[in-house]
Amino acid sequence: MEAGDAPLTPSPENMAALRSAKKALRLEMKRRVAALSDAEKRRQTEVVSRRLIAHPKYQNCQRIAVFLSMADEIQTEYIIKDVFQRGKECFIPRYKSRSNHMDMVKLCSAEAIQQLPLTSWNIRQPAADGSQEEALTTGGLDLILMPGLGFDKHGNRLGRGKGYYDTYLERCLQHSKGKPYTIALAFKEQICDEVPVTETDEKINEVLYEAP
């Protein structure tokens, strides 16, 4: 393809094959993580958290978005506490379940998480009352910590299929600060040889996990 040409649109057959491959890989990733003991997940969480906190991108950022973790993800409670201890500004996701729209809204303290309402996914998120600062309406973001089900070493990410983060990263491009640096947090069991992707899937800059 010549420089400047538009990317080719995948055929319906290719799109169906991609969707099928993603579905199979999601099931495999969920199976791998489900096989981990709670103690092993805590151990890997500690390793990954330490690596992140020592990372120059983390140390030098001021405005950071952090996901509130589910049971099958690297746990982020310690990271959020560290964000506040360092005087950084912390933003967390607020999802609209009937669309792929997500905002990153400001969290006032680590303790405030326990007062947030639970969603149908059994994770906490800010109420949609418009009272919290949204990152892209003010100073943008320096760093986004990315969840996911699977990752490869080329920066490809397998999400849960809703497209929340891909769409949000596209919106970040419209902000004067531009696209934030993105770091995924993963169990080593979530690292794949190759994640199937489409042209709407956003690459991530880096994946942190316990290397073998």
pLDDT of residue 80: 97
Is it true that domain 12-208 has CATH number 3.40.50.10420? yes
pLDDT of residue 211: 85
DSSP letters spanning 135-190: GGGTT--SEEEE--SEE-TTS-EE--SS-HHHHHHHHHTTSTT-SPEEEEE--GGG
User: Taking Cα atoms as reference points, which of 74, 66, 70, 72 lies closest to residue 94?
Assistant: 66
pLDDT of residue 51: 97
pLDDT of residue 162: 86
Given its phi and psi angles, is residue 97 left (phi above 0), alpha (psi -120 to 50 degrees) or beta? Answer: alpha
Q: Which amino acid is at 168?
A: Y
Beta strands in the chain (DSSP E): 63-65, 89-95, 102-107, 143-146, 150-151, 157-158, 181-185, 206-208
According to DSSP, residue 132 is labeled S
pLDDT of residue 8: 45
Task: Determine how β-strand 63-65 pairs with β-strand 206-208.
Answer: unpaired
CB-CB contact of 126 with 116 (8 Å): yes
CB-CB contact of 147 with 66 (8 Å): no
Domain ranges of the chain: 12-208
CB-CB contact of 195 with 203 (8 Å): no
95: three-class secondary structure by DSSP? strand
Q: Which helix (H) or strand (E) holds 43?
A: helix 38-53
pLDDT of residue 34: 97
77: three-class secondary structure by DSSP? helix
pLDDT along the chain (212 residues), means of 10: 44 81 95 98 98 98 96 96 98 83 93 86 76 90 97 94 91 92 98 89 94 76
